[in-house]
């Protein structure tokens, strides 16, 4: 009995400590070996409508790779909600996959742990050279001035998706280009149980993507140039307030959206309940929800005024998935071959077509498949008006604490509590204090 009690008492400590205990500290500095040249383990992030879709997309390609090289790739598709934790556990224990997908915004955070193979000139040479990749995609592969921790695999950008029929019914001729126009258009559409804009108030990453772009438009970066957290600048406060105000004061976002975190706003959109969403590469999801391609339109995400561009006219983050290799792989040559295969011109077309994303490989972008009206908006955005999230080691903490602050503000707005500059600043201040001290 006493033993059981002790077990229960220490549960929290233990569950945490266990992860560490299994570790024995992976040796640092090594660059993998070739002890097991016949197999590879690959953690793919969930890109399709569900895990099965991903397996269907990827398995034939992995079979192709096996036929070419004789290396068998064991595939595991990891849901988004688990991915970062799984990588973290793999890093501490040293028991990870050989090759894995990471959200490109985590590149710098994961790079700082030292677990990922650095992509120096020699390694890049093995996959055909750095020049094959689009510049903006390379901007989200690690801290500037260091060898990238990962290689771009799929690129995405935010855009404004709108429901053509709902627009036509309300007599709206063209999609809004500025936030003011968006609010106005939204107000016309928000009635009879329908709403102008969808949001995912409880999705921390999505919150970050939105307020980061608004921050850019207000001249704020959330980090100082020397990499210190700077969440409470006037621009940052204004950005967060502007985003939450879409629900709180503009009232074009349904209060119920405050608890959305599982892409419910996309199914509301597909069911004609909301007229617009700000999303990255949503076409595959719309199709999965039963919406036809000609029922929705796509326009650049709004800016404060004028045309999207660089600096204060930024209207998207550089979104995407990178591919990384764990340093302590037992099949380093095979891992590089696999990255080369996945980033080859041919595979880039196949994979990005299946996921509705844009190839970060220049040659593959030329394929006509990426020239449709929807994808050309995204491609244009990526090329001219998208900014990479701060490439600092604390990026993933930033996503958590500021994402949570925005979630709490949405909860306030949904409950009808006032969202003021002071309340926004207080939440951001609390978030900043939670960041680890440097």
Partner 1 sequence: MTTTAALNAGERTARKDDPGAAPRKRRSGRLRRIGLPYLLLFPAILLELLVHLVPMVIGIVVSFKELTQFYIRDWDTAPWAGLDNYKLSVDFDAPVGEALLNSFFTTCLFTVLSVGLCWLLGVAAAIFMQESFRGRGFLRTVFLVPYALPVYAAVITWSFMFQRDNGLVNHVLHDQLGLTDSAPFWLIGDNSFIALLVVSVWKGWPFAFLIIMAGLQNIPKDIYEAAALDGAGVWQQIRRITLPALRPVNQVLVLVLFLWTFNDFNTPFVLFGKAAPEAADLISIHIYQSSFQTWNFGTGSAMSVLLLLFLLVVTGAYLWFTSRGRKVTDV
Binding site for partner 1 (CB under 8 A): 1, 3-18, 20-21, 23, 25-26, 28, 81, 85, 88, 91-92, 94, 109-110, 112-115, 201-202, 204, 254-256, 258-259, 261, 393, 396-397, 400-401, 403-404, 407-408, 410-412, 414-415, 429-430, 433-436
As measured in angstroms, the least distance from the Cβ of 45 to partner 1 is 17
Taking a C-beta distance cutoff of 8 angstroms, is the pair 323, 26 a contact?
Answer: no
Task: Report in angstroms how near the CB of residue 414 gets to partner 1 at its nearest.
Answer: 6
How many CA atoms within 13 Å lie on the side-chain side of 354? 18
Closest CA to 176 of 40, 46, 297: 297
CA 24 to chain centroid: 32
Residue 177: both structure tokens together: 């280009």
Pull the structure tokens for residue 357.
């994303």
Q: Which is nearer to partner 1, 203 or 365 (CB)?
A: 203
Q: Which is nearer to partner 1, 252 or 303 (CB)?
A: 252
Closest by CA to 201, choosing from 249, 265, 157, is 265
CA angle 240-246-250, nearest 5°?
A: 135
Measured from the CB atom, the residue of 58 and 254 that comes closer to partner 1 is 254
Number of H helices, E strands in the chain: 19, 11
Dihedral over Cα of 41, 46, 47, 52: its sign: positive
Nearest Cα neighbor of 99 from 393, 394, 334 is: 334
Residues forming a β-bridge with 43: 76, 100
Whole-number Å distance between alpha carbons of 208 and 224: 17
The residue behind tokens 């077990």 is 7
Give the gyration radius of the chain's Cα atoms. 22
Q: Give CA angle at 254 (248, 260), nearest 5°.
A: 105
**C-beta neighbour count of 255 within 10 angstroms:** 17
| Beta carbon nearer to partner 1, 116 or 276 | 116
CA dihedral 414, 275, 214, 181 (to 10 degrees): -110
Neighbour-count burial of 155, counting CB atoms closer than 10 A to its CB (0-12 exposed, 13-18 middle, 19+ buried): buried
Q: Which of 295, 337, 331, 301 is nearest to 316 (CA)?
A: 301
Minimum CB–partner distance for residue 229 and partner 1 (Å): 11
* Residues 6+ away with beta carbon under 8 Å from 84: 103, 106, 396
* Beta bridge partners of residue 75, listed in sequence order: 42
């Amino acid at each position: 009995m006493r033993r059981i009690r002790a077990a229960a008492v220490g549960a929290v400590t233990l569950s945490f400590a266990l992860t560490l205990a299994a570790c024995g500290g992976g040796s640092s500095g090594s660059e993998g070996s070739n002890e097991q040249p016949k197999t590879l383990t690959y953690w793919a992030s969930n890109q399709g409508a569900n895990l099965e879709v991903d397996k269907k997309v990827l398995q034939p390609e992995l079979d192709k790779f096996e036929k070419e090289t004789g290396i068998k790739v064991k595939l595991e598709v990891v849901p988004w909600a688990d991915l970062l934790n799984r990588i973290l556990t793999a890093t501490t224990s040293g028991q990870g996959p050989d090759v894995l997908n990471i959200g490109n915004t985590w590149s710098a955070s994961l790079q700082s742990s030292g677990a990922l193979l650095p992509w120096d000139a020699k390694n890049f040479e093995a996959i055909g050279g750095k020049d094959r990749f689009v510049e903006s995609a390379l901007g989200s592969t690690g801290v500037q001035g260091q060898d990238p921790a990962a290689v771009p695999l799929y690129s995405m950008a935010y855009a404004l998706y709108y429901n053509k029929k709902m627009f036509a019914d309300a007599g709206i001729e063209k999609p809004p280009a500025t936030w003011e126009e968006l609010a106005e258009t939204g107000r016309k559409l928000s009635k009879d149980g329908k709403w102008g804009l969808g949001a995912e108030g409880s999705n921390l990453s999505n919150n970050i993507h939105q307020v980061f772009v608004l921050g850019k438009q207000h001249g704020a970066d959330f980090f100082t140039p020397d990499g210190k957290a700077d969440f409470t600048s006037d621009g940052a406060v204004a950005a967060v307030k502007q985003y939450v105000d879409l629900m709180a004061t503009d009232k074009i976002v349904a209060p119920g959206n405050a608890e959305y975190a599982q892409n419910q706003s996309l199914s509301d959109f597909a069911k004609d309940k909301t007229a617009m969403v700000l999303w990255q590469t949503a076409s595959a999801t719309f199709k999965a929800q039963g919406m036809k391609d000609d029922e929705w339109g796509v326009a650049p995400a709004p800016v404060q005024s004028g045309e999207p561009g660089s600096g204060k006219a930024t209207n998207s983050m550089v979104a995407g998935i990178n591919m990384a290799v764990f340093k302590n792989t037992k099949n380093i040559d095979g891992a590089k071959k696999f990255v080369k295969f996945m980033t080859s011109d041919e595979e880039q077309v196949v994979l990005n077509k299946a996921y509705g994303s844009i190839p970060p490989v220049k040659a593959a972008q030329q394929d006509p498949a990426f020239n449709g009206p929807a994808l050309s908006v995204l491609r244009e955005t990526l090329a001219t008006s998208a900014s990479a999230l701060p490439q600092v080691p604390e990026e993933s903490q930033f996503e958590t604490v500021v994402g949570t602050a925005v979630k709490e503000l949405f909860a306030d707005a949904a409950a009808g509590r006032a969202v003021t500059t002071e309340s926004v600043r207080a939440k951001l201040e609390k978030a900043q204090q939670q960041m680890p001290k440097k």
